[in-house]
Amino acid sequence: MKTNLLGQTLIHLQALCAEEGFPRFTAKQLCDWLYKKRVDSIDAMTNLSLAQRARLNEIAYIGRETPVRCQVSKDGTKKYLFPVPDSHFIETVFIPEAERATLCVSCQVGCKMGCLFCVTGRQGFHGNLSAGDILNQLFSIPEFESLTNVVFMGMGEPMDNIDAVLSATQVLTSDWGLGWSPKRITVSTVGIVPGLKRFLDESQCHLAVSLHNPVAAERLQVMPVQKAYPLDEVLALLREYDWSGQRRLSFEYTMFRGINDDLAHAAKLVEALKGLDCRVNLIRFHESPEAPFRTPVPSAIQAFQNHLNRNGIVCTLRASRGQDIEAACGLLAGKE
């Protein structure tokens, strides 16, 4: 099977060069072509010898795929559909704002986590994306040059595909790669503890934890992951790290009417997050025909937000983008 060069780290490429008997510096040249010049063919790597290029064409390829569809929301949000191996599709959302342009990438085809409120979760799991498949979502859209931020909040659970996610973030942040500051990248998780621990130890990117309910028994009803990795365990792990510096910790809290949107829940959330340097992003649940939940009333959201702010937790209501094209949180399905 041929190797996808896109997504390979410098160390991976050095190993490949050693195996092929290429000089060690060829790995650095490959990085330049892949990540600085972002070529999409091995033949374009003109400072490699013809023999090297011929050999690379035999054993490797550059996994660049252009999106097969782009839907544009009335608010300017764009949803791209990309083909990935095994005849599947994934979705990527481009969110332009006044001061920034964020890309929300997928890391798996579907998802195993089965969160009750999520369209992706209801699709089941069809496989992991490679680091190359993840990076292709950035490299193969026309807005690449304008991107200021990347969030791993599309289809899939990043900590359940941690090797690929760490390789992709390494490419994005290393000087041999794109050289981005890790502050431009946020990775989300429902709290898969082993993957999360590796992420905390091996990356400096921001973290967003999907919390959604501070009451364990209630959280379990909508997020099956709570059984294997209870929120208490996740919070205990997070408390072992220092969040007072550049690296940011945030909690995502999707609000469902009559379920987790009252002040009792707000108080329990404050209690659960005590002592953690963090912020909370409230997300208004987007009603969909299949999900048994409703959107909270605006006054409940406001009261909840005020309660957190009064108790010293920076809390914002995330603006909903791209709802008309099903690009909003929890609505990605990857359907052709």
Interface with ligand SF4 (CB under 6 A): 111, 113-115, 118, 120-121, 155-157, 190, 330
DSSP per residue over 137-175, as a string? HHHTSTTGGG--EEEE-SSS-GGGGHHHHHHHHHHHHST
> CA-to-CA distance for 185 and 172, rounded, in angstroms?
9
Q: Whose Cβ is closer to ligand SF4: residue 156's or residue 214's?
A: 156
Q: From the CB of 126, what's the least distance to ligand SF4, in Å?
A: 12
Q: Whose Cβ is closer to ligand SF4: residue 5's or residue 231's?
A: 231
DSSP per residue over 65-76, as a string? ---SEEEE-TTS
Q: Whose Cβ is closer to ligand SF4: residue 111's or residue 266's?
A: 111
> CA-to-CA distance for 219 and 228, rounded, in angstroms?
12
Q: Whose Cβ is closer to ligand SF4: residue 156's or residue 322's?
A: 156
The residue number with the shortest CB distance to ligand SF4 is: 121
User: CB of 77 within 8 A of CB of 70?
Assistant: no
Q: From the CB of 228, what's the least distance to ligand SF4, in Å?
A: 13
Name the residue among 92, 113, 107 with its Cα closest to residue 187.
107
Q: From the CB of 110, what's the least distance to ligand SF4, in Å?
A: 8
Name the residue among 316, 335, 336, 331 with its Cα closest to residue 104.
331
Q: From the CB of 121, what's the least distance to ligand SF4, in Å?
A: 3
Q: Whose Cβ is closer to ligand SF4: residue 125's or residue 144's?
A: 125
Q: How far is CA 143 from CA 31, 103, 133, 149, in A?
A: 22, 9, 17, 12
Q: From the CB of 204, what's the least distance to ligand SF4, in Å?
A: 23
Q: From the CB of 111, what's the least distance to ligand SF4, in Å?
A: 3
The catalytically annotated residue of 111, 115, 205, 329 is 329
Q: Whose Cβ is closer to ligand SF4: residue 56's or residue 231's?
A: 231
Residue 329 is among the residues annotated as catalytic for this protein: yes
Q: How would you label 172-202 residue by residue, b for 16+ Cβ within 10 Å and e otherwise?
A: bbeebbbebebebbbbbbbbbbebbebbbee
The catalytically annotated residue of 91, 157, 252, 326 is 91
Residue 218 is among the residues annotated as catalytic for this protein: no
Burial of 87 (0-12, 13-18, 19+ CB in 10 A): exposed
Active-site positions read 91, 329
